[in-house]
């Protein structure tokens, strides 16, 4: 058995360059911990001339990343290309078919193809590792798959996107609106030029689908994740949340029960006493409920070159140690599909912001629609009066079913009682 693990890396962006730097700078520590020298022998990327701040001399270069799978001098392939199909999927598939282990940070790929790729990895008898795909440097996949192996996990949830958490935190601290803070985040490099995957909740949904599969022993089911982003959260909502004792966070929440699995991503109002309320900036946090371990909380940097490279190399260390477990904690054939619980079945409290004309009978009309659909009002907040002008009415409800609330809000909109579509944010007493 060789004492060198020869690595091929596809994708030399921020994470790829960070992985090369970590393997170089911590080579002595890594060898002492896994008994092998981890060395990169080949790479693939689109632009050979680009300066990535790391030395690529003496590394074999491939324009086609699939060549890494075929290179007899490459023992393990690290896929950092990104995307749920195309070159990334072709490379990972080819590598597993060739009987070589794969390490990836690609959450979209695992969220959409993880179950099939896991079966292929098991058939080939090699590892498919994706710690870096969820929550950056937080070792949540290993914890769920290995450390909590003795537990039945009933719930996993958290802040899984640092860009959204940065935006919401900054909106709260500055009083600025979403569009202004997003533009600032883009200028600082915290948000992409096209921020849709982040701010529309898709990135969080990819990660939640993976966490759900590992936590509950079910096939990855990204299509079942209800997804809503933060574009419609206003500075007014954040200010009122504070007055009511809440903070607004974009959460991914997955639960399992007798009826099935619920997976949802959306803005939430969480009590200021909640652990999630105190996770600020670009940090991530994940909370897990297990039947014997109880509640555990993981918090740390959710992205960036260093934290993500740390997770990539941790997977490489496991491969060097020849430590292999099923990608999702159990054999792919043992993953049990369960019914998906729709968002309409959610039972909980809600925050409502209704922009109305300040005139007689409006509140009574709104209250009647809510009453007719079994929605009970807990509190009403209105600042000032401008007869005949637009004002905001803030309400919170007692716990109710979302299906009934949705019908009530549709009726309110159709009745002409409001001048803008109602804003609804779910209250989560986590």
- Any idea which residues carry the catalytic annotation? 207
Counting every residue, how long is the chain? Answer: 430
C-beta neighbour count of 127 within 10 angstroms: 24
Q: What share of the chain is helix, strand, coil (3-state, %, to 5)?
A: 40, 25, 35
Q: For residue 252, which of 243, 264, 236 has the smallest C-alpha distance?
A: 264
Question: CA 135, CA 204: separation in Å to the nearest integer?
Answer: 9
Question: CA 383, CA 392: separation in Å to the nearest integer?
Answer: 8
Q: What is the DSSP letter of 273?
A: T
C-beta neighbour count of 408 within 10 angstroms: 23
CA distances from 156 to 93, 241, 289 (A): 29, 24, 6
Name the one residue in this structure whose structure tokens are 């079913």: 401
Indicate the angle between helix axes 178-188 and 162-174, nearest 10 degrees: 120
Nearest 5°: phi and psi at 324? Answer: -135, 130
Which residues lie closer than 8 Å to 370 by C-beta, 6 or more apart? 376, 377, 397, 405, 408, 412
Question: Nearest 10 degrees: CA dihedral of 202, 207, 209, 212?
Answer: -150
H/E run at residue 285: strand 283-290
Nearest 5°: phi and psi at 208? Answer: -65, -40
Q: For residue 398, which of 356, 334, 352 has the smallest C-alpha distance?
A: 352
Question: CA 372, CA 349: separation in Å to the nearest integer?
Answer: 17
Question: CA 329, CA 248: separation in Å to the nearest integer?
Answer: 33
The answer to whether residues 248 and 425 touch, using CB atoms and an 8 Å cutoff, is yes
Q: For residue 80, which of 69, 91, 70 has the smallest C-alpha distance?
A: 91
Question: Where are the alpha helices (H) located in 273-347, listed in sequence order?
Answer: 305-320
Sign (positive/negative) of CA torsion 93, 94, 99, 104?
negative
């Amino acid at each position: 058995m060789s004492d060198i693990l020869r690595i091929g890396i596809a994708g030399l962006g921020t994470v790829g360059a960070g992985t090369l730097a970590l393997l170089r700078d911590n080579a002595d520590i890594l060898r002492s911990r896994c008994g092998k020298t981890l060395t990169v022998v080949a790479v693939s990327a689109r632009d050979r001339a680009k300066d990535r701040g790391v030395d690529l001399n003496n590394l074999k270069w491939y324009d086609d990343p699939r060549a890494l799978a075929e290179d007899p001098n490459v023992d393990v392939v690290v896929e950092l290309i990104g995307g749920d199909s195309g070159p990334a999927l072709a490379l990972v598939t080819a590598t597993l078919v060739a009987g070589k282990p794969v390490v990836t940070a690609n959450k979209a790929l695992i969220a959409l193809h993880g179950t099939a790729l896991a079966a292929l990895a098991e058939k080939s008898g090699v590892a498919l590792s994706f710690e870096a795909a969820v929550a950056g440097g937080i070792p949540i996949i290993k914890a769920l798959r290995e450390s909590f192996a003795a537990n039945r996990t009933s719930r996993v949830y958290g802040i899984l996107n640092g860009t959204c958490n940065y935006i919401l935190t900054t909106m709260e601290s500055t009083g600025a609106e979403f569009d202004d803070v997003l533009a600032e985040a883009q200028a600082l490099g915290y948000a992409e030029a096209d921020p849709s995957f982040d701010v529309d909740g898709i990135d969080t949904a990819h990660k939640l689908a993976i966490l759900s599969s590992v936590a509950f022993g079910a096939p990855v089911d990204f299509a079942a994740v209800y997804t809503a982003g933060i574009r419609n959260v206003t500075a007014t909502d954040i200010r009122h949340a504070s007055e009511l004792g809440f903070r607004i966070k974009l959460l991914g929440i997955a639960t399992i029960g007798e009826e099935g699995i619920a997976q949802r991503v959306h803005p939430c109002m969480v009590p200021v006493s909640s652990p999630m309320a105190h996770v600020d900036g670009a940090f991530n946090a994940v909370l897990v409920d297990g039947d014997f371990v109880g509640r555990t909380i993981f918090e740390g940097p959710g992205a960036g070159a260093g934290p993500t490279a740390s997770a990539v190399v941790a997977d490489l260390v496991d491969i060097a140690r020849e430590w292999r477990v099923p990608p999702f904690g159990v054999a792919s054939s043992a993953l049990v599909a369960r019914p998906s619980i729709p968002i309409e079945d959610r039972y909980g409290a809600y925050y409502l912001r209704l922009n109305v004309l300040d005139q007689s009978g409006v509140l009574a009309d709104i209250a009647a629609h809510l009453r007719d659909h079994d929605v009970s009002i807990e509190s009403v907040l209105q600042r000032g009066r401008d007869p005949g002008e637009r004002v905001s009415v803030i309400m919170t409800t007692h716990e109710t079913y979302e299906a009934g609330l949705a019908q009530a809000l549709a009726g309110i909109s159709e009745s002409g009682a409001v001048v803008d579509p109602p804003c609804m944010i779910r209250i989560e007493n986590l």
